[in-house]
Amino acid sequence: MYSVGIITASDKGSKGEREDLSGKLIQKVMEEKGYLVEKLVILPDDEELLAQEMIDMADKLQLNLILTTGGTGFSQRDVTPEATLKVIRRQAPGISEAIRYNSLQITPKAMLSRGVSGIRGKTLIINLPGSPKAVKESLGFIVDTLHHGIQILIGDTSECGQK
């Protein structure tokens, strides 16, 4: 069972002015897929706070996967990709490209998502959009492949080829 941390970036959510539907949805989907959600937090759209939480989840808790939701758009307060780029050591662009590619089949607004994906140590970090609908769709595009990626990242398997 692989461990997951979930970070919701939301000024209103962090103040209790809005319910965190996206973070809870990520938790539900990941638990249904057999992942252990070890931490779920709601933070304001603050680059330093978001980056520090990712570092803590990766380095201290040693989680296998961190999923963020929110903060990937064009608003001046949307800084989740910048926080992620600060903490990752290697990019994994194919994951975010797959989300955007598949999302573009649903809405042209998907081109406005700035989400990134990458690796810090043995932790995979992926930015998801903020709306529950977009979270559900995005996870649907990637969740089945994530298991194998995490296996390779932590050394549980070394092969990508299928027999």
3-state secondary structure of 85: helix
3-152: CATH class? alpha beta
pTM summary value:
0.95
Q: What is the pLDDT of residue 157?
A: 75
Residue numbers of the chain with a pLDDT score lower than 50: 163
